[in-house]
Amino acid sequence: MKWWWKCALVGLVFLIRQGSCLSSELAALQKEYGEWRLQRSPEYATTIGVYKHNDQVENYAYSGFVEEYNKCFGLLTRLKEQVNYNQLDAKERIDYDIFNNTLTMIVEGNNWKDYSALNPVNFLEGPQIDPTYFPKITPFDTVGDYENYIRRLELHPGQIDDMIGRFNKSIEKGHTYHRVSVNKVPGQLEKLLTSYNTTTFPYYKPLLDQLSKLQTITDSKKTEFRERAKSAVEKIIRKLSDLKWYLENVYYNHLRTGFGVSSWDNGAAFYRACLQWHLSLDITPEEVHNKGLQEVERISSEMKKVMAKLNHQGSVKEFFDNIRRNPSFYLQTGEEIVQWYKSAIKNEIEPKLSAYFKDLPNLPIDVEPNPIDGVSGQYIAGPPDGSRPGVFQVNVHRPNQSVKINFMALLLHETLPGHHLQISAASTVKNPNFRKYMTGYLFNVPMEAAFYTSYVEGWGLYAEYLGEEMKLYKTDYDLMGRYGFEIFRACRLVVDTGLHYYNWTREKAIEYMLNYTAFSEEMIAIEIDRYITWPGQACAYKIGELKIKELRKKAEDKLGTKFDIREFHATVLKAGYLPLHILEKNVNQWILETKNKAAETATKCASNGANTYTSWIGLSVIALILFMQ
Ligand SMILES: *[C@@H]1O[C@H](CO)[C@@H](O)[C@H](O)[C@H]1NC(C)=O
Ligand SMILES: *[C@@H]1O[C@H](CO)[C@@H](O)[C@H](O)[C@H]1NC(C)=O
Ligand SMILES: *[C@@H]1O[C@H](CO)[C@@H](O)[C@H](O)[C@H]1NC(C)=O
Ligand SMILES: *[C@@H]1O[C@H](CO)[C@@H](O)[C@H](O)[C@H]1NC(C)=O
Ligand SMILES: *[C@@H]1O[C@H](CO)[C@@H](O)[C@H](O)[C@H]1NC(C)=O
Ligand SMILES: *[C@@H]1O[C@H](CO)[C@@H](O)[C@H](O)[C@H]1NC(C)=O
């Protein structure tokens, strides 16, 4: 049976109760927006398997800001005019709310177009970060694939020019970075420029063996492709070198001297807008700061209690230093580490899930060693049909540096009941395409289309907390590992607001983190530079978790014996990624319905074929981009 037929049947019943069942206008507008997003981010479209923009590149020109505004303002106007909220069913109302929020944020974010968005390259983002990525996501099977790829190479120097153009504007407006955000960039560029020549540059790689092996392309065409690619890569290398020169000789003369954005004109209001974007809540910097202070105190006193139980007299740092020096807290090999995680999922976590969750699709999960030596662990989703498992990649490159006491918290966060469970649950609902596009540039905030980190990462951190309730931290040492992770996220609330709102120095922020966490000064300094570069981003994790806990407490209080943890979790997970204020609305609605014991008639028309998202690749990219620790 086709989706519309099913819906028409349900619709008859529904009409009597609530008016129309499925708003085709809403669906059409969401679809139009989703398609426009991919057209605006053609490289990203390639990564999720949408190939029709493969010969285009993203527009970095300042003039593009106006187009973006006009498009989203136009859609918002049509949404208001063409869709009657009162006639939508429950699922559509959530869709409407999220869509309305997404468009409104872009339109309002445009007020800040002359701020951070003018600085498109920093030590974490830009064309110097990973030139191997672009050829990796591109298909190279046909003549057309090569044509498109080379066209993109030819367009890339123009993108770099537009980046420099934005930097020029940033100088003009007085909204440049602090030095720490760009200090490493010339070195990163220099490394590319000295490591490669034209034919060894990563962009040229697909023109070597890979092209030779393709028998469907003639030799003369191959030669032509190689010549064009060589000339394009030469120009790219020259542009990268220009960018380096520009930064060192022009931009560096205009760096801001304050660490935080409070040193920009209207900086406090800009920071509020960034917080709102990242947290998707109406919350002030003062509130974020105070929540951070409270959480740090609370977790700190928990740690002291556990340390006392373990007869440790010294500081938190000394506690973790002792652990690190003790060989019994390590496994010997990468293989043993992977086995430990596999066994913990199967024997410890999975048997306990059904008491907390219902109707899960049970998508498979696997553990593998991380091929590259980067973060301690990351999660990559599998396809929604379960034909390949979701994969938790764990860093086993230095077994003698990963203490076991951190394993459980990391595992809970990335897999079950963390990101794997969250993404599995989201894969069972048919949401509009654009809500799966969790991509964008953090320098661009708050002009960027939102990607709801506070919901995604808030859940990850909540999963670490659930581990306590589920009695998954077997020893007090495991619990210390968990608190070590948690306090780190709590400290971020204090130092992010400290730097950008209370005019803290970098040194003070580093000292604060050193006082409460066990990480090395070197690592903390890199963290702090990240916060200075992306105002508000690091607050998303803890604020998201606090919101989920707050909503749970509220539901428990209001529902008393009627509170069912499995229903609560289903409510939090059912709509997929969304802003926290809409999550709050949904939970409130659920509390009301549960209280009234109202017949649950909503969500019956959830399935909208036109919007069904089938590309699993998109999910795996989301995972890679978002699940940065
Ligand atoms: C859409 O969002 C705006 C801004 O948040 C809000 O004022 C408006 O009420 C929303 N529209 C509907 C129908 O909820
Ligand atoms: C940036 O400004 C410099 C002068 O400061 C100018 O020479 C250059 O052409 C500008 N570059 C772009 C891409 O706008
Ligand atoms: C680039 O470097 C490779 C390897 O070092 C070398 O074989 C090649 O001749 C160089 N090409 C040019 C154009 O210098
Ligand atoms: C870890 O192992 C490496 C290589 O086996 C060794 O060089 C290093 O000293 C060890 N580090 C510690 C802290 O044991
Ligand atoms: C931070 O510095 C800015 C600009 O120098 C100033 O306007 C603001 O009042 C200061 N904020 C605080 C909380 O001291
Ligand atoms: C770090 O701890 C020391 C000693 O308790 C204290 O004096 C200092 O103010 C703390 N630093 C910050 C930034 O809180």
| pLDDT(7) > 50 | no
Q: What confidence category does residue 209 fall into, taking pLDDT thresholds of 50, 70 and 90?
A: very high
Helices (H), 280-406: 285-309, 316-325, 334-343, 350-353
CA neighbor of 50 nearest in space, from 68, 64, 61, 36: 36
Distance, CA of 199 to CA of 196 (rounded, Å): 8
The one-character DSSP state at 574 is T
Give distance in angstroms: CA of 217 to centre of ligand 2: 42
Q: pLDDT tens, 382-419? A: 877 888 899 999 988 888 888 999 999 999 999 999 99
Distance, CA of 421 to CA of 431 (rounded, Å): 17
- Atom of ligand 3 minimally distant from the CA of 198: 13
Structure tokens at 546: 């606090």
Give distance in angstroms: CA of 174 to centre of ligand 5: 17
- Give the N- to C-terminal CA distance of the chain in Å, as an integer: 44
Distance, CA of 393 to CA of 336 (rounded, Å): 14
- Which pLDDT does position 616 carry in this prediction? 28
- Which pLDDT does position 298 carry in this prediction? 98
Q: pLDDT tens, 233-277? A: 999 999 999 999 999 999 999 999 999 999 999 999 999 999 999
Distance, CA of 437 to CA of 618 (rounded, Å): 7
Q: pLDDT tens, 475-484? A: 999 999 999 9
Pocket of ligand 2 (CB under 6 A): 161, 164-165, 168, 250
Residue having the nearest C-alpha atom to atom 8 of ligand 1: 100
- Which pLDDT does position 22 carry in this prediction? 58
Q: Which ligand gives the minimal distance to the CA of 497?
A: 5
- Which pLDDT does position 18 carry in this prediction? 36
- Atom of ligand 6 minimally distant from the CA of 512: 13
Q: pLDDT tens, 610-622? A: 222 222 223 333 3
Higher pLDDT, residue 282 or 619: 282
pTM metric for this prediction: 0.89
Interstrand relation of 390-394 and 365-369 (parallel, antiparallel or unpaired): parallel
CB distance 100 to ligand 1 below 6 Å: yes
Q: What confidence category does residue 530 fall into, taking pLDDT thresholds of 50, 70 and 90?
A: very high
CB distance 589 to ligand 1 below 6 Å: no
Higher pLDDT, residue 439 or 221: 221
Top mean pLDDT of 128-137, 141-150, 372-381 is at 141-150
Give distance in angstroms: CA of 197 to centre of ligand 3: 6
The one-character DSSP state at 344 is I
Q: pLDDT tens, 383-393? A: 778 888 999 99
Q: Which ligand gives the minimal distance to the CA of 84?
A: 1
Percent of the chain with pLDDT over 70: 91
Sheet-wide strand order for 365-369:
365-369, 390-394, 377-380
- Which pLDDT does position 336 carry in this prediction? 96
CB distance 343 to ligand 3 below 6 Å: no
- Which pLDDT does position 429 carry in this prediction? 82
Q: Which ligand gives the minimal distance to the CA of 508?
A: 6
- Which pLDDT does position 600 carry in this prediction? 46
- Which pLDDT does position 428 carry in this prediction? 79
Q: Which ligand gives the minimal distance to the CA of 258?
A: 5
Distance, CA of 392 to CA of 378 (rounded, Å): 6
CB distance 511 to ligand 6 below 6 Å: yes
Please state the rounded mean pLDDT for residues 361-377. Answer: 84
- Which pLDDT does position 15 carry in this prediction? 28
CB distance 512 to ligand 6 below 6 Å: yes
CB distance 407 to ligand 6 below 6 Å: no
| pLDDT(509) > 90 | yes
- Which pLDDT does position 608 carry in this prediction? 34
Q: pLDDT tens, 535-549? A: 999 999 999 999 999
Give distance in angstroms: CA of 585 to centre of ligand 5: 35
CB distance 195 to ligand 3 below 6 Å: no
Please state the rounded mean pLDDT for residues 80-94. Answer: 95
- Which pLDDT does position 360 carry in this prediction? 83
| pLDDT(9) > 60 | no
Lowest mean pLDDT among 48-52, 359-363, 369-373, 559-563: 369-373
